[in-house]
Each structure stands twice: as structure tokens, then as C-alpha cells.
Structure 1
Amino acid sequence: MSDPSRPRAALRTAVVWDVLKDSLDRRAKSAGGQVLDVLDTGGGSGNFAVPVARLGHRVTVVDPSPNALFALERRAAEAGVADRVRGVQGDISGLFDVVERDGYDAVLCHGVLEYVDDPAEGVRNAVGALRSGGVLSLLAAGLGGAVLARALAGHFKEARQALDDPAGRWGEGDPVPRRFTADQLSALVADEGVDVGAVHGVRVFADLVPGVLVDTEPGALQELLKLEAAAAELPAFHAVATQLHVLGEKRAAEAA
């Protein structure tokens, strides 16, 4: 979990953090146990960057918000990893204005593709920042989870609109500009030279369970975390997940 002191926050991050940490550990081991260079695009205040730095890796966070980067600096200092975390103002569309190509062992692209004008360009830039064999961690809003949430709230017209809309939006008031299916995300990644290793459904149940139940029922949070982990890799649950996580590895460039 990214922050054990915030158990409710773990519901949003536990599945992704567990598989990401394992992937980084494998990458570091294959490189002789070396420190990795990790890029976190849209990394904000460091929800993932700081825990990755705690593992001993160097992390560069690119984010358009000065306030988020200020919070990142403070958070990294409090965690004792300020020397391993660097914040840079920018966005994924202009990524190579602020970071180098082929310079990172892992790239995190979490909560970014929903908001960019061209998701394919966003994935292309994220992959372009990776070294051969590098790890791509991609997290984006899932279509099915939004449809299910609107329907369970009694907003059936909005649920149908999200289902039919090419961008997966339920209406003008929808704060998320774009949502994806697992197949769409996997195709975006594969088209840019990444071998998809795993797809995970994130927050399959967490957003549907009443918060009061999780907060007051003894042991409920831990059991819900276990349930989320068990369902994450099952394709049947990808269609109803609030978010989808794709983990892949950049293919080596083919010889001319």
C-alpha cells in the first residue's frame, strides 16, 4: 500500500501498488539490483512517487500543477527521500521538453489519459521515455464502472448515455472527459511497442460498498482489500471496475 497510515486510501491504490512494486523489484533484480530511474507522469503530490523512492529508486515527477509539485517536495522531505525525488512542471503532451527519451527503467502514467486531447500520443510519449525492456504502468478510468455506478444510483438515462457515448461520458456534468475499456487500453499500449503483461481491474467493489460499513464493521476493510486483490486479474470483473491498470514491458527495437 502506498500509505499504510491511510487505510481507506489503500482501497484506491493497493492493487496497483502491489503489482507495480513486484514489477520494479524484478526489473531491478534483472539489472543486477541497481537503482532504477522512474518517471511518474501526472504524478501530482507523490502518491506513488514517494513510495517508489522509499524503495531506493530515483523518481522524476512531471505534473502541470505548481501546487502539486510543491506538495510533492514537502511530502518527499517528510518521508526522507527528497534526494531521490525531483519535480518538473510539464505535461505528457510536451513530455520531451522536460525529460529525455529512452531515459527511464519505468514510466507511470496514472490518471492522465482521461484528460489529454490525444490518448494515443500520451501513450506514445510515455513509451518513448522508456529504455528497452522498461516497465509501463498505465492506470485510467474504466467505462463499465461508471455505467454501473450511475445505474445503481438510479440515473438510468445517464448510465445508458455513458454506455453509448464514444468517450464514455454520462452527460455535460461528467467531470471525467474520457473512459476506456480494457481492450482499448491494451490496444493503445500494444500499438506503441509494449508487450502487455497483465490487466487489472481496480476499485471493482470499493466504490460500491457503503463507507460506513467499511469504517465500522470489524475487519471489513482488510477483507475488502483481499476481495479487490482476488478479483483484480479476473477478466470478468474488468468490465465493472472503476479504473483499469495495464502493466507492460517495452519491446526491444527491431534491427533494421
Structure 2
Amino acid sequence: MSDPLRPRASLRTAVVWEVLREALDRQAKHSGRSGDDALDVLDTGGGTGNFAVPVARLGHRVTVVDPSPDALFALERRAAEAGVTDLVRAVQGDAHGLLDVVDREAYDVVLCHGVLEYVEDPEGALRNVVGALRESGTLSLLAAGRNGAVLARAIAGHFTEAQRGLADPDGRWGEGDPLPRRFTGEDLTRLVTAAGLDVASVHGVRVFADLVPGVLVDTEPGQLEALLQLELAAAALPAFRSIATQLHVLARRG
């Protein structure tokens, strides 16, 4: 089977997959449940299964919670196409009501990707997410980066919007901004720590991918892989992490 975590589209998600795959392997080795290496994974806000289905293809049991029935329908279709229907469960719900639809302390790994930007109460939502983790469980948190958005607006020539994003408490660049809020690495670290977890790592995601014109990547052989390797190399460096479009935090309970 080809590597499910390195498709062409992984240019935008490669860093998350690299960190997440290592975390899943590590968690499976230390789960200690009767020799069963399969993990119970919760993907809150998992939508159509961009992460859930590849994780299931690795042999793990994945529960996806999402408020959209259409997204969950697409998830089930994608899981069927990938041959992992028996490993993927779709549940309608959201982060604020998470513990009403899933069991508390029932999951080895919880993914919370692209959720905190949209919820009214990020702190409360994250507490619920952490509540679903087993002791010694792992959280994978992905959220929009404030500084990356400021840089992108400036490079596009929208200097006034860039300045607004720099000054706005939620990192929004104007009324037309599609995101309710963005975060710095320090913001996310503070939220995770307040929720009772220990931060293991912080990586920048899409440091360059959203800034490089597609024509530079698509027209010459090897350019896509070279850019992907550049993303991986820069992801953990603080100077580049701080300007990433997204920030990925890996944290552990206990």
C-alpha cells in the first residue's frame, strides 16, 4: 500500500502528518492494552475525513465528531472507498457539546484541527477536548496563525489590512476576514497548558506553501518535493514557525 500520509496534497499538511504519525506510533507502543496496537482516536471537527481516513488506514479506530451532516456523509463515503468503514464512526456534534456525544477519557489520541478558530469559547472547547483523552493520551491541535495572516496580507499589497490584523486582539484583518480569530504559538501554548496538558512540540505549518506561486512548483520536476522538504526543515525553527499560516501543537496528558 502506498503511504497514505504523503499524497501530492500533503504539501499543505506534511508537517502535521509527520508529527502525528510519529505520535501515533509512540502512543501505540505504550498503550499496553493486551497487545492491541490499534488506538482509539477522536477527530473533533474532522469533517470529510482528511485526517481520519488516513489514520484509519494505519489500523486505528477513529470517531469523527462534526456538526455537518453533509460532511459526515462524505466521510462515510470516503471511508468506504478506502476500505476502512469498520474503523471509522461518524457522530454529529460539536466541541462545546463534545462530552454529550462521546465518552469521557475514552481516547488515546484526540485531533482538534481547525476548530478553535470558529468556536465562541476556545478555552471551554479545549477543556472538553482534553476531557475525552485517556490518562497519558495525546492531543494534536492545529489552528490558524496570526502572524502568517499578517504577512500574507502585506505580501498581497493589502497593507492596511495587514496592520489591522497585527493590532486586532483576534488577529482579524477586517470585516471581510472569513476567520473569527487566529492565534500565536504563545496563545496556543497557554490554552493547552491551562487545560492541563504538557506541550511536547510546536510546529509551523504552511510556512512557504501559501506564499510560493503555484507556477514555480508545477512547471519543473522536483520542485514540489523540494518545497515539501523545505517546509519540514523550517517547521520547528522559531523564526519561521512564527510566520506560518497554521500552528500545530502536540501535547500530552499526564
Q: TM-score, normalised by structure 1?
A: 0.95
Q: What is residue 68 of structure 1 aligned with on the other side?
A: 71
Q: What is residue 39 of structure 2 aligned with on the other side?
A: 36
Alignment of 1:197 with 2:195, yes or no, is no
Query: Contact conserved, 1:40 with 1:62, CA < 8 A, in 2?
Result: yes
Alignment of 1:94 with 2:97, yes or no, is yes
Change (3 A) 1:145 1:22: same
Deviations 1:151-206 (A, max 9, x none): 00110000000000000000000001100000000110011111100000000000
- What is the CA distance between 1:42 and its match in structure 2? 0.3
RMSD: 1.0
CA distance in 2, matches of 1:98, 1:11: 33
Deviations 1:64-123 (A, max 9, x none): 011100000000000000000000000001001110110100000000000000111111
Query: Contact conserved, 2:127 with 2:195, CA < 8 A, in 1?
Result: yes
Q: What is residue 104 of structure 1 aligned with on the other side?
A: 107
Q: Determine helix, strand or coil for the equivalent of 1:93.
A: coil
Change (3 A) 1:243 1:75: same
CA distance in 2, matches of 1:207, 1:53: 28
Letter in 2 for 1:150: R
Residue from 75, 78, 81 that aligns with 1:78:
81
CA distance in 1, matches of 2:197, 2:39: 19
Letter in 2 for 1:228: E
Letter in 1 for 2:119: V
Query: Contact conserved, 2:110 with 2:140, CA < 8 A, in 1?
Result: yes
CA distance in 1, matches of 2:10, 2:58: 18
CA distance in 1, matches of 2:77, 2:5: 15
Q: What aligned pairs does 1:175-194 form with structure 2 within 5 A after superposition?
A: 175-194=178-197
Q: Determine helix, strand or coil for the equivalent of 2:199.
A: strand
Deviations 1:205-252 (A, max 9, x none): 00000011111121110000000000001111121100000001012x
Q: What is residue 10 of structure 1 aligned with on the other side?
A: 10
Q: What is residue 123 of structure 2 aligned with on the other side?
A: 120
Q: What is residue 241 of structure 2 aligned with on the other side?
A: 238
Q: Determine helix, strand or coil for the equivalent of 1:133.
A: strand
CA distance in 1, matches of 2:242, 2:19: 20
Change (3 A) 1:196 1:176: same
Q: Which runs of no fewer than 5 residues in structure 1 stay unpaired?
A: 252-256
Q: Which runs of no fewer than 5 residues in structure 2 stay unpaired?
A: none
Letter in 2 for 1:19: V
Structure 1 stretches of 4+ moved >6 Å? none
CA distance in 1, matches of 2:174, 2:4: 33
Q: TM-score, normalised by structure 2?
A: 0.96
Q: What is residue 22 of structure 2 aligned with on the other side?
A: 22
- What is the CA distance between 1:3 and its match in structure 2? 5.5
